[in-house]
Structure 1
């Protein structure tokens, strides 16, 4: 029997639009696609925007292509929803054993696996429609990401660093932004992709601190469990690598001073996060994780303004 309880999820922002305005019958599906928790959308989208802005500056364009930015926004919304739905289909039994996730639509019975599969197919078709708007090379790059997306949900069962596989998938936009504009991949694109991978491992380790007590019961592995009491050091190493790789990308793209200012602001925000990490503070870990939207926007703003000023 499907549980009809309309239960907001604990990591959703209070008063989000799904809980306040969406028809009650739609809410389980919107929650399944994480529409009530937009932070994942931002974290998937920002590497796309970084790469698009970096490519624009390097290729002499006066800022990233606005149409590309819109397409990336729509595509990231659809594919984040599809990825979350797929992940929840695979993990529905594990989610039932973790306090933070047991009330998600699938483990709580608000949505059946068949209904979730229909939603997954619909979201993938939207993502495909967006991808087909780009050049042939970018289309092939985008399709290649599906291999990583397909294996990610199983990694928490076999490796203590599933966050690395998540990084490979979530950072893929670091390749897409450049490919969509240039029709090829150059070293700065590979470096900004690497930076986004390291950033993802760092922020998702902070996120995993919320479940560090329940994960062993469910048999879930994570970088938070791997680092243990040294979580701050582990996150700091990831963030340090992210900043260094982003710096190398900016140098090779021959960016100007405004891009370096954006990178410095990004690095400063990451340093602030490190200073606030407290083991056992689940609410604080969630706030720090969500603050990465602002960190990523600082870097995007610097890269975009630099491209505009250099090529105006």
Structure 2
């Protein structure tokens, strides 16, 4: 039982914010592509698959970052960095979760299975991008949003243009919220030579977060027009924009705790957009 608790912490099931940030865009796609409530089987496959793939991604992230996490205040107590479990155990856990995800996606169609291979590669390779890519948050946005084309593929059998537009919106959203997250670790990342958008944007970090939030809302608005949504969806985007504005206000002084608070609060942006889509397709 003690080992299971360590694995639970390894895959961050004690910190569900990552699951939510991955799940909301997937739910946007499922409800939009189904133009209503998706079939129960599809919902179960994608919800469980989201949990498994996010958890597997966390295990691989900690495997690649185990020597870095030890020197970062926020991550030095992670179970792999602290030595509570061995590196090979993280790989075994990730492989097991990946196998479960494969079994789930195997019950869908060929296109969704093909896209799931890309999603798996994105999830595993993201930690490596922090070593050389100036804005790894953009790559994270692709990884966290790949449930969007997969959702459309599973329900419609194709990936229409609006799906890629929603994915692009998710990329800018991820840059915004993960920059807030990176602002917490900026000092440690500078010392360790780890790349992040907070470092790349420098003194324009708050401005760029605001710009990325703005682009997210604009792209979501265009996607809504393509889907034929009306005032309910527009109102949900106005609420989401207000929440984003609150985040920019919180992070303006670059206080660590407020930046982390803003990051965690992003689940409400995802939820608000989902509610707007759900009401449009159900009413």
TM-score (norm 1): 0.87
Q: Which residue of 2 aligns with 1:289?
A: 263
Q: Aligned equivalents of 1:168 and 1:86: distance in 2?
A: 17
Deviation at 1:125, TM superposition (A): 0.9
Question: Which residue among 127, 132, 146 is the counterpart of 2:106?
Answer: 132
**4+ residue runs of structure 1 moved beyond 6 angstroms?**
none
Q: Which residue of 1 aligns with 2:240?
A: 266
* Most deviating of 145-154 and 248-257: 145-154
Q: Aligned equivalents of 1:276 and 1:97: distance in 2?
A: 27
Q: Establish whether residue 257 from structure 1 lines up as the match of residue 231 from structure 2.
A: yes
Deviation at 1:124, TM superposition (A): 0.5
Helix, strand or coil for the counterpart of 1:134? Answer: coil
Residues 67-124 of structure 1 show CA distances to partners (whole Å, capped at 9, x for unaligned) of 3233221111110110010111111111111111111111100010111111111111
Are the aligned partners of 2:247 and 2:262 in contact in 1 as well (CA < 8 Å)?
yes
Question: How has the CA–CA distance of structure 1 residues 244 and 280 changed in structure 2, closer, same or farther, with 3 Å as cutoff?
Answer: closer
Q: Establish whether residue 237 from structure 1 lines up as the match of residue 208 from structure 2.
A: no
Q: Establish whether residue 48 from structure 1 lines up as the match of residue 26 from structure 2.
A: yes
Are the aligned partners of 2:33 and 2:152 in contact in 1 as well (CA < 8 Å)?
yes
Q: CA RMSD in A?
A: 1.4
Deviation at 1:159, TM superposition (A): 2.0
Q: Establish whether residue 68 from structure 1 lines up as the match of residue 46 from structure 2.
A: no
Count of equivalent residues: 283
Deviation at 1:228, TM superposition (A): 2.1
Are the aligned partners of 1:208 and 1:223 in contact in 2 as well (CA < 8 Å)?
yes
Q: Aligned equivalents of 1:140 and 1:25: distance in 2?
A: 34
Q: Larger % of helix: which?
A: 2
Are the aligned partners of 1:163 and 1:201 in contact in 2 as well (CA < 8 Å)?
yes
Q: Aligned equivalents of 1:55 and 1:120: distance in 2?
A: 30
Q: Aligned equivalents of 1:46 and 1:124: distance in 2?
A: 21
Q: Which residue of 2 aligns with 1:115?
A: 89
Question: Which residue among 15, 24, 35 is the counterpart of 1:37?
Answer: 15
